[in-house]
Structures are given as structure tokens and as C-alpha cells.
Structure 1
Amino acid sequence: MNSRKPDHNYAFGLVLRDLRLQSGYSQERLGFDAGYDRTYISLLERGLCSPTLDTVVSLCSVLNVTLIEAFSSVESKLEELDASRPDPT
């Protein structure tokens, strides 16, 4: 990955939203099951805040995905976002 990195919080949020929708969860239900408020889930999905490792572990547990699967998806999303950015040269 080059120095023009997209925001990792934004990439995480996109992945979280995809995983949540694939699992059939609303933001409210995911938040409740993971121990967070719906508004916090919304902030995460929009990339407006950075989750702690404890938060990621809790969300992965509820969504029934491993940390490796989640972080691999975030890495792929970062690469996808980076590739879609115009070259500044």
C-alpha cells in the first residue's frame, strides 16, 4: 500500500455495515447484543470513531466472524479504496 492511505476507520465502517447487513442485524440489535448503543454502531459504520480491540472482538463475536476474517476484509477494503483514488501526478 502506498502513502495515500484511505481512512482505516472508514474502511472498518464499510466492512462492519456489510457484515451487519449480511447477518440480518439492525444497528439497534447489533448494538444491544454487543453491549453498545445504536448511535455508537452508527458512528462506527460511518467511520467517525475508532473502535477499541475489545469493541472489535465483541462485534465479531455477535456477527460470528473471526478477527482474521474481519481484519482481512478491512485490509481488502483499504486496498479497494486506495485503488479507486485518482493518482495525484
Structure 2
Amino acid sequence: MNSASLIYDFYSTNTKQIINAKFCLLTELRRAVELKFRKALGRAVRRLRIQAAITQEDLAFEAGLERSYVSSIELAHKDPSFTTLQKIAAALNHSLLDLFQICNDPAKPAQVMRLKQTPQPVSSCPAPDAAGGGYRSRSSHQ
């Protein structure tokens, strides 16, 4: 083998490695961008759904989807098609443009409001007897 052939082989191998490394880097970058977009899209769907005061089940019904799929979109686990996004936007009484504009809005994500359940006192329960041996009858506390 002559030196020109060795140099060619060296550069050819290194070039392939560099191209492969760049391809891997670009692939990871693309995945990161896609995930960031899916998260923003999920937050936008959730924000509009909460503003409309409807459940995931209601949204799914209106859009002709499964509730678990709507949940997966909101959690950025699924990458919905353009048609699916149109159905969701229509079910939320918004345009697709509104949905994408909300994706770019850096405002705080929608907060879930949960009702706090406070235990109701039960007045008809008998009180335990002072000796700890069961319950007194109503006639015994008079």
C-alpha cells in the first residue's frame, strides 16, 4: 500500500465517524425539540380544556377520541396528527391557530383546581362510654 492510499483510508474512516457522530447529534437534537413541542402542545390542550371547564372524557367524546389518548397528548406521551389536533381544537371551540399560539405563550401552565373534601360531622354516632367498654345508649347520657 502506498502512502496516498493510507491517507485516503484514514480520512475516509475519520470522515465516516465524524458524519455518524453529527448524525447522532442531530437526531438527539431533533428528539429534544420534538419533546419540547409535545410538552408545549400538551400544556396548551390542558389549558384550553380547563378554561372550558370540561373533563378529558368530555373532550375525548367531542373530538371522537379515547380519554386515554387525550391524557397522553396532555402528558406529551403521544404525537397527535394534524387531523387529531383539528378535532381537539374544534371540540374546545378554538382554531388550530389558537392552539399553536398558546403553545408559544410562556405563561404559567393551567392549574388543576381540586375540590377539598372536608369530613362532615356525624351527629347521630353514639359517643364511646367513659370506661372504654363500648358505646353508651342515648338514654344513658341524660
Q: TM-score, normalised by structure 2?
A: 0.50
Q: Which runs of 4+ in 1 moved over 2 A?
A: 3-6
Q: CA RMSD in A?
A: 2.1
1:44 corresponding residue in structure 2: 73
Measured in 1, the distance between the counterparts of 2:105 and 2:47 equals 13
Where structure 2 has 5 or more consecutive residues not aligned to the other structure, the ranges are 1-28, 108-142
- Provide TM-score, normalisation by structure 1: 0.77
**Distance in structure 1 (CA, Å) of the matches to 2:98 and 2:79:** 18
Match 2:39 to one of 7, 10, 13: 10
Q: How many residues align?
A: 77
How far is 1:76 from its partner?
A: 2.3
Q: Secondary structure at the match of 1:36?
A: coil
Counterpart for residue 64 of structure 2: 35
Are residues 1:74 and 2:103 paired?
Answer: yes
User: Which structure exhibits the higher relative contact order, with contacts defined as CA atoms closer than 8 Å and separated by 6 or more residues?
Assistant: 1
Shift of 1:39: 0.3
Q: Encode CA deviations 1:30-49: one digit per residue, 9 max, x unaligned.
A: 00110001000000000011
The separation in 2 between residues aligned to 1:68 and 1:32, in whole angstroms, is 22
The one-letter code matched in structure 1 to 2:105 is S
Pairwise CA distance, 1:68? 1.2
**How many angstroms does 1:66 deviate by?**
1.0
CA distance in 2, matches of 1:38, 1:70: 19
Q: Which residue of 1 aligns with 2:120?
A: none
Rg comparison, structure with higher value = 2
User: Percent identity between the aligned chains?
Assistant: 29
3-state SS of paired residue (1:12): helix
User: Which structure dedicates a bigger proportion of its chain to helix?
Assistant: 1
Unpaired runs of 5+ residues, structure 1, are 81-89
